[in-house]
Amino acid sequence: MTDQTQFIKVPHVVIVGGGFGGLSAARALRKAPVSATLVDRRNHHLFQPLLYQVATAALSPADITAPIRGILRKQRATEVRMAEVQGFDLPARRVHLTSGEALAYDYLIVATGATHAYFGHPEWEPVAPGLKTVEDATEIRRRFLLAFEAAEGERDPEKRAALLTFVVVGAGPTGVELAGSMAEIARHSMIRDFRNINPGSARVVLVEGGPRVLSAYDEKLSAYAARALTRIGVEVRTGAIVTGIDAEGVSIGEERIPARNVVWAAGVTASPLGKALGVPTDRVGRVMIRPDLSIPGHPEVFVIGDLASLEGPGGRPLPGVAQVANQQGVHAANNIRRLIRGEPQTSFRYVDKGSMATIGRRAAVMEAGRVKMKGWFAWVAWLVIHVFFLVGFRNRILVMTQWAWNYLTWQRGARLITGETGAELAPRGKPIGTPEGHSEPMSEGRPASRDAALAAAQGQTAPSDGEGAGWMGGDRSQAGNRE
C-alpha cells in the first residue's frame, strides 16, 4: 500500500502591519486552521511606549525592538514578508505590493497605524520631527546631543541660547515624557561633561494648546504632572497655540521662542492605506468600521488599531493606545475563526485597563477606573508594567539593566551621535572666553577649556503624539505598514 500525502487547502489570512495590533492578531491565529502572511515594510516589531527613551539616549534601539521573524518563529503556518503595500483589490481579494506582486487572501487584517499630523502645515515636518519610528528617535537623539556639542563652541550668546532651547509641541503622554527626560539628561547626566557651557542652563519648553497637560487624565493628576515638570526645570506653556515653526524657532501668536530643536508630539493622522480601502473615513483618515471590526460590505476585511475609527463607551472614539490595538487584534482573529466555523461575528468591547505616564525620576501618574496614583508608587508601577509587556526576555533584561545603571549613576548609556555631522560642527576659530582665547570657568568650579579644538561648532538646524493615553504611554502606531 502506497502512502499518499493529501494537501488540504486552508484559508489564507494576510495581516498588513507588524505593530501591536498586527502582531497580536498573528499570535491569536497560531492554532487556527489557517495559513497567514504578515507584511511589514520593516523587519522588526517596535515597543513604541519606550521610544522616547531612545530619543533621549536612555535606551538603544535594540533594547525595544525584536525581529518579527524571531517572534513568530514557532508559528510554522505563518510567513513574514518584508514588503510595502501599495493598495488593495477587495473584489478580487488581493493585496498589491510596491514590488508588483499581489498576495491573495481569504481574510484580511489591516493594521497600518498612523503618522504625524501637522494640521495643514506640512512645511513644519522637516524642522519639527515627530516620534513614531526608530529612525525618528535616533534623529531626534542626534539633534538633541549635537545641540550641546554645537553650543560648546558657539561664541555668540544668543545663538548659544537658541541651541540650548528645546521645544516640545504637544503635552500628551509622549510630549510630557520627552520633555521630562530632556530636562533630566541636561541637568544631571551631562552636567559635568562640558567646559564652555553649563548643560543645566538648557531650556526645555513644553507647549500645549489645551488648558492642561495630559488632558485625558483626571484633573488632579494633570495638575500634579504640571508641577512635577516644573520642578525638574521644564517650562510648561498651556493654552498656547503654535502659529509657526522654522529652523530658527517657534512662534506662539506674537511671541517668538528662538530654538534650534523642536519636537512634534501634537497629533497624528491615519496611514494613507486607510483610504486605499475605498470605504468611508473620518476627518483624520481613520476607517469607519463596524462593531465587529470589519468594513462595510466586506465581512472578511478587518481594520484595527490607529487606522480604525470606532466609538467606545460614552460615544467617544477609542484612543490610539497599545491596549486597544492588542485587544482588537485578538478580537479580529477570533472573528475569523468564527467565520470559518460558520458562526456569526461578535462585536468588539474594549476593556480599559488604565492609563499611565511618567514625568521623570520617581514621578508618574496612573489612572485605572477609580484607582488614581501619582508619585513614586505610580513610577514603580510604570516600570514594572512596561518591562512586563516588552516583547522578548532579552529585551526585558537589557531594559532593566539600563534602567538600573541610569538610576544609580544618572548616566545615559546611549549618548551616541550617528550620521554625518560636518554641517553642524565646523571650525569656529578661537574658543569661547576672553579675547586672548583663554576660556573662563563657567560655573560650579568646572575647569576652563584647555584645548581650542573643543571650540568647533556651528548652529544646529533642526530639520506627533495623540492625546490618547494608555497604560503603555500614549499612542503607539508607526508610520507606514505598522500597528
Q: How far apart are CA 382 and CA 208, in angstroms?
A: 24
Is residue 413 packed enough to be buried (19+ CB in 10 Å), middle (13-18) or exposed (0-12)?
middle
Q: How far apart are CA 315 and CA 306, in angstroms?
A: 17
String of DSSP letters for 172-211: SHHHHHHHHHHHHIIIIITTTS-SSS-GGG-EEEEEESSS
pLDDT for the residue 248? 96
pLDDT for the residue 424? 62
Question: pLDDT category, 458, cuts 50, 70, 90?
Answer: very low
Identify the CA nearest to 207 among candidates 238, 250, 163: 238
What mean pLDDT do residues 462-476 have? Answer: 41
What mean pLDDT do residues 36-60 have? Answer: 96
CATH 3.50.50.60 corresponds to the domain 12-116+268-341: yes
pLDDT for the residue 7? 58
Has residue 455 got a pLDDT over 50? no
Has residue 467 got a pLDDT over 70? no
pLDDT for the residue 313? 78
Question: pLDDT category, 473, cuts 50, 70, 90?
Answer: very low
Has residue 430 got a pLDDT over 70? no
Residue 315 Cα distances to 210, 217, 319, 351, angstroms: 21, 18, 12, 15
Tell me the average pLDDT of the chain. Answer: 87
Which residue has 571650525 as its cell numbers?
Answer: 427
Residue 303 Cα distances to 127, 328, 348, angstroms: 32, 9, 12
Has residue 27 got a pLDDT over 80? yes
Catalytic residue numbers? 177
pLDDT tens figures, 178-206: 999 999 999 999 999 999 999 999 999 99
String of DSSP letters for 8-24: PP--EEEEE--SHHHHH
Half-sphere exposure of 444 (CA within 13 A, CB side): 12
Lowest mean pLDDT among 234-248, 298-312, 397-411, 468-482: 468-482
pLDDT tens figures, 61-113: 999 999 999 999 999 999 999 999 999 999 999 999 999 999 999 999 999 99
Of 208 and 453, which is predicted with more confidence? 208
pLDDT tens figures, 252-301: 999 999 999 999 999 889 999 999 999 999 989 999 999 999 999 999 99
pLDDT tens figures, 347-375: 999 999 999 999 999 999 999 988 999 99
pLDDT tens figures, 369-422: 889 999 999 999 999 999 999 988 999 999 999 999 988 988 887 888 887 665
Domain ranges of the chain: 12-116+268-341
What mean pLDDT do residues 305-329 have? Answer: 91
